[in-house]
Amino acid sequence: MASLFFEPSTRTRFAFESAMQRLGGSIVTLESGASSSTKKGETLADTGRIMSGYADIAVIRHPQKNSAEEFAQFSSIPVINAGDGPNQHPSQSLLDIYSINHFQGHLDGLTIGIVGDLKFSRTVNSLIKLLAFYKRHTFYLISHPNLKMAAETVNWLKKNGHQVIEMESLKDAIPHLDIIYMTRVQEERFESREAYLSVKDHYRLDRSQLQDAKKNLSIMHPLPRVCEIAEDVDDHPAAKYFEQAHLGLYVRMALITEMLGLK
């Protein structure tokens, strides 16, 4: 597996690399795009062509939207998008869906609060797309007014038979929720530091806010967290984010096996 990371990563890279090694495979890795020929002006297309000769499968994370797709067009091996800028992060969503099913026992008719950066978070973009395949969800989209989900995505969810409630208050939403999916404000996607600073501390979920929560609540987060979940939540029975990250290993093992056409 060629593991090509042009953006920072801890979980995603380690999960894919551990998954490949546990399946008995090996890895050629690019931990920082800065050390590759991309710095000399090599295009993603050429990197794709070259990697196809060195590996049987590639995993790529890159800051540009549609970069994984471009890379895949010029590769002759299966390519996994591990995050293309603010656009998509599909393997994270597979593990999120797998985790939701594991924690809740089903994937239809859930009340899901998605909180934080609904504008730039690629994990949210991808998760919404997958959840929409299931039936009759109620989405509470909870964000600062500057970080709302794109109107076309909201309309698309409604057209697919889901109820959507957009609001700013996390406290008011909590008693209704089966899932809280917290996200980090994506500092690296803002045009100015001031714009980031004005929204970065808007949400901080702490244990005291969970008093009215439903018994079956699962608190999830793709991680890394910055300040949006206080550490006093970590040993609450609803806190599932570390388990969620761990489940990502098995989902990636399954994904690699499937994409390589192995049994």
Known catalytic residues? Answer: 11-12, 40, 61, 89
For residues 227 and 149, give the distance between their C-alpha atoms in angstroms, rounded to a whole number.
21
By CB under 6 A, name the one of 3, 57, 70, 89 that touches ligand NCD.
89
By CB under 6 A, name the one of 222, 228, 229, 252 that touches ligand NCD.
222
By CB under 6 A, name the one of 123, 125, 143, 218 that touches ligand NCD.
123
Shortest distance, position 263 Cβ to ligand NCD, whole Å: 28
Between 122 and 162, name the residue whose CB sits nearer to ligand NCD. Answer: 122
Nearest CA-CA partner of 33 in 73, 75, 71:
71
Q: Which residues contact 48 (CB under 8 A, 6 or more apart)?
A: 58, 70, 71, 72, 73, 74, 75, 79
Q: Is 184 in the site for ligand NCD (CB under 6 A)?
A: yes
Shortest distance, position 208 Cβ to ligand NCD, whole Å: 25
Subset of 2-41 contacting ligand NCD (CB under 6 A): 11-12
> In the Cβ-directed half-sphere of 59, how many Cα atoms lie within 13 Å?
32
Between 108 and 201, name the residue whose CB sits nearer to ligand NCD. Answer: 201
Residues 217 and 180: beta-carbon distance below 8 Å: yes
Shortest distance, position 181 Cβ to ligand NCD, whole Å: 11
Shortest distance, position 157 Cβ to ligand NCD, whole Å: 20
DSSP three-state, residue 241: helix
Between 11 and 102, name the residue whose CB sits nearer to ligand NCD. Answer: 11
Residues 176 and 150: beta-carbon distance below 8 Å: no
Q: Which residues contact 4 (CB under 8 A, 6 or more apart)?
A: 29, 30, 33, 36, 47, 51, 58, 59, 60, 61, 62
Between 12 and 153, name the residue whose CB sits nearer to ligand NCD. Answer: 12
Is beta strand 58-62 parallel, antiparallel or unpaired with respect to 28-30?
A: unpaired
Amino acid (one-letter) located at 92 = Q
Q: Is 86 in the site for ligand NCD (CB under 6 A)?
A: no
For residues 81 and 55, give the distance between their C-alpha atoms in angstroms, rounded to a whole number.
16
Q: Is 247 in the site for ligand NCD (CB under 6 A)?
A: no
Amino acid (one-letter) located at 214 = K
Shortest distance, position 21 Cβ to ligand NCD, whole Å: 19
Q: Is 122 in the site for ligand NCD (CB under 6 A)?
A: yes
Return residues touching ligand NCD (CB under 6 A): 11-12, 83, 89, 92, 122-123, 184, 222-223
